[in-house]
């Protein structure tokens, strides 16, 4: 076998992306910048959630860039169907600041990334790559909005205290150490691994080890689910 053939065989396939947004201009802008990359490929475009679900199944897409407000089947329901399905595709949500309730729902539907539409295109592409690699990403601006959203949930405050520790809090107490809970608290606040290392005065490698342990111990799919658990267990103050 020639060297050329060997090299060709080892070149990784591009990440197959489905763009789901009811605004053609948004899809066009994303398609144009993705076309200029070597590692990303637009596998299909959808103007509603139902079409996005169908395209994921037909194209074996790796990542869906998902708008939340679309006619018919919205982005939350489409995210739920995709993440619960057998394809293994992951979802990056593109949101705007007036989508707070929708973002909260998308968290629980299984989305792995949350970005705002006014972010730079390069940052959006970087997020697609991060999610495709199996990690998760939440834009800091979205994290701040989620904190406010959690303060309005009925499980919070005196009602939660009267009901006793939440199932999430009990699970954390049983499965994790005090140090792991410290790390989880900072993950819930939206800090990056580097920021957590600085906050706790430990190495970046140690932080990565703690995060890996938390994912395994708490049966969490990715960092986004750790954020949910941190809030639901009451580790993150929303006051």
DSSP string, 99-117: GHHHHHHHHHHT--EEEET
CATH number of 154-232: 1.10.10.10
φ and ψ at residue 137, rounded to 5 degrees:
-150, 135
pTM to 2 decimal places: 0.70
Listed in sequence order, the residues at least 6 apart from 118 whose beta carbon sits closer than 8 Å to its beta carbon are: none
The pLDDT value recorded for residue 106 is: 79
Place of tokens 């994921």: 56
- For position 167, what pLDDT does the model report? 66
Residue for token pair 């979205």: 142
| Residue 166 confidence (pLDDT) | 56
Residues 6+ apart with CB under 8 A from 91: 63, 64, 66, 79, 82, 83, 106, 109, 110, 111, 112, 113, 131
| CATH, domain 3-148, list 1.10.3720.10, 3.40.50.2300, 1.20.120.160, 3.40.50.300 | 3.40.50.2300
What tokens appear for 153 in the block? 């949930």
Structural tokens at position 63: 């990542």
Write down the pLDDT at residue 141. 62
Ranges of residues in the chain with a pLDDT under 50 are 6-8, 154-164
Domain positions in the chain are 3-148, 154-232
pLDDT score recorded for residue 107: 76
């Amino acid at each position: 076998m020639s060297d050329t053939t060997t090299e060709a065989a080892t070149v990784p396939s591009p990440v197959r992306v489905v763009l789901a947004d009811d605004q053609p201009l948004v899809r066009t802008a994303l398609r144009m910048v993705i076309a200029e990359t070597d590692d990303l490929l637009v596998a299909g475009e959808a103007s509603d959630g139902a079409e996005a679900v169908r395209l994921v199944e037909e194209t074996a897409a790796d990542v869906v860039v998902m708008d939340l407000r679309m006619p018919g089947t919205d982005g939350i329901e489409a995210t739920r169907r995709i993440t619960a399905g057998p394809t293994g595709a992951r979802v990056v949500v593109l949101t705007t600041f007036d989508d707070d309730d929708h973002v909260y729902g998308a968290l629980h539907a299984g989305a792995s990334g949350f970005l705002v539409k006014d972010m730079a295109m390069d940052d959006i592409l970087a997020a697609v790559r991060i999610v495709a690699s199996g990690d998760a990403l939440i834009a800091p601006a979205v994290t701040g909005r989620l904190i406010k959203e959690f303060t309005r949930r009925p499980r919070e405050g005196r009602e939660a205290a009267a009901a006793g520790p939440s199932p999430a809090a009990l699970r954390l107490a049983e499965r994790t150490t005090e140090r792991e809970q410290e790390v989880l608290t900072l993950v819930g606040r939206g800090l990056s691994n580097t920021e957590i290392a600085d906050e706790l005065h430990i190495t970046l490698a140690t932080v990565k080890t703690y995060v890996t342990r938390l994912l395994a111990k708490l049966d969490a799919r990715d960092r986004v689910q750790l954020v949910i658990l941190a809030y639901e267990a009451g580790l993150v103050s929303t006051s």
